[in-house]
Amino acid sequence: MIRRAPRSLAEHAPILFPALMLIVFFVIPFSLMIAVSVARRVPGGFYEPDFVFANYERFLTAFFGGVLAFSLELAGLVAVLAVGVAFPFTYRLARLPRAAQVRWLVFLLSILSLSEVIIGFAWSTLLSRTAGITNLFVALGLMAEAQSLTPSFGALLAGMVYQAFPYTVLVLYPALARLDPSLVEAARTLGSSPVRAFFTVVVPALRSTIVATLIMAFVFALGSYLLPQLLGRPQHWTLSVLITDQAIYQSNMPFAAAMAVFLVLVSLALVALALLAGRRKEEA
């Protein structure tokens, strides 16, 4: 198949509507956000047009720099754990009979219908002292008395991995479902164990898909807002929480816009890296 650039307006028609939606719902709001981020805050919770970088300078202070570092580390850890759990699960799912695959996919889609609020309160209950899982451990004799496991970093990490898991599976599933089973069979025939065949054949064959899924999960976790408040302590709050705090409770829209601009730029940079990696693989 030979690719050629569209030569007429009619051939551009299929992309006009998505391009218009991208301009209306992303380019214009992002441009306004950049304009607000360099505005000057005035007393009373308002701001006036200007071109100052005080908001970005404040963002580089020790406190907000620490929040940024924690947000990036948390998002990276969530992405690695979510993909690490979802990849073998999806590989096994793609090898099940078709009917079983459909049931599992419907179950995962039903999880996606749950809002972040429901997930947060469900995990809060599961990890609470009065009705949590520690009561089961007490009944089994594994613990002396029930205790609360939230708020804590572990509770926050578990809740965010759980939230990202269905999205990760659904992104990995098409590539794993298309993987030729004869590749693994050939490795097994040559003497590889199932685990060795998985890591030496399946994982390298889907390297680009794994990287793209990691980036997707990272960006998804980076924007988490409710779970850090419901499952974590104040020191576990992410940059998204502080953006809302500055915009709504502190009435500092320019500073909130500056932090939001940085988050968007980080997300765009990761998407650009994924596209660049995919292009280099095609050229190779």
Q: 40: which DSSP letter? A: E
Number of neighbouring beta carbons within 10 Å of residue 135: 16
> What is the predicted pLDDT for the residue at 78?
95
> What is the predicted pLDDT for the residue at 27?
87
Q: Express as a percent the part of the chain with pLDDT over 70.
A: 92
> What is the predicted pLDDT for the residue at 279?
67
For the record, the structure tokens of 177 come out as: 């479902």
Note the helical H segments in 44-133: 54-59, 62-94, 98-112, 116-126
Q: Which domains does the chain have, with CATH numbers?
A: 23-104+149-283 (1.10.3720.10)
d(CA 224, CA 89): 24
Q: Is 2's pLDDT higher than 60?
A: no
Mean pLDDT computed over every residue of the chain:
85
Q: What is the pTM of this model?
A: 0.84
Encode burial over 181-216: b for 16+ CB neighbours within 10 A, e otherwise.
eeebeebeeeebeeeebbeebbeebbeebbbbbbbb
> What is the predicted pLDDT for the residue at 4?
57
> What is the predicted pLDDT for the residue at 74?
93
Number of neighbouring beta carbons within 10 Å of residue 142: 9
- For the stretch 195-254, pLDDT in tens is 888 888 888 888 888 888 998 899 889 888 889 998 988 888 888 888 888 888 888 888
- 161 pLDDT tier (thresholds 50, 70, 90): very high
- For the stretch 266-281, pLDDT in tens is 888 877 877 776 666 5
Q: 249: which DSSP letter? A: I
> What is the predicted pLDDT for the residue at 283?
57
Residue 51 burial by CB count (10 A; 0-12/13-18/19+): exposed, middle or buried? exposed
How large is the C-alpha radius of gyration of the chain?
Answer: 23
- 1 pLDDT tier (thresholds 50, 70, 90): very low
Q: Is 14's pLDDT higher than 70?
A: yes
Q: Is 155's pLDDT higher than 60?
A: yes
Residue 24 burial by CB count (10 A; 0-12/13-18/19+): exposed, middle or buried? exposed
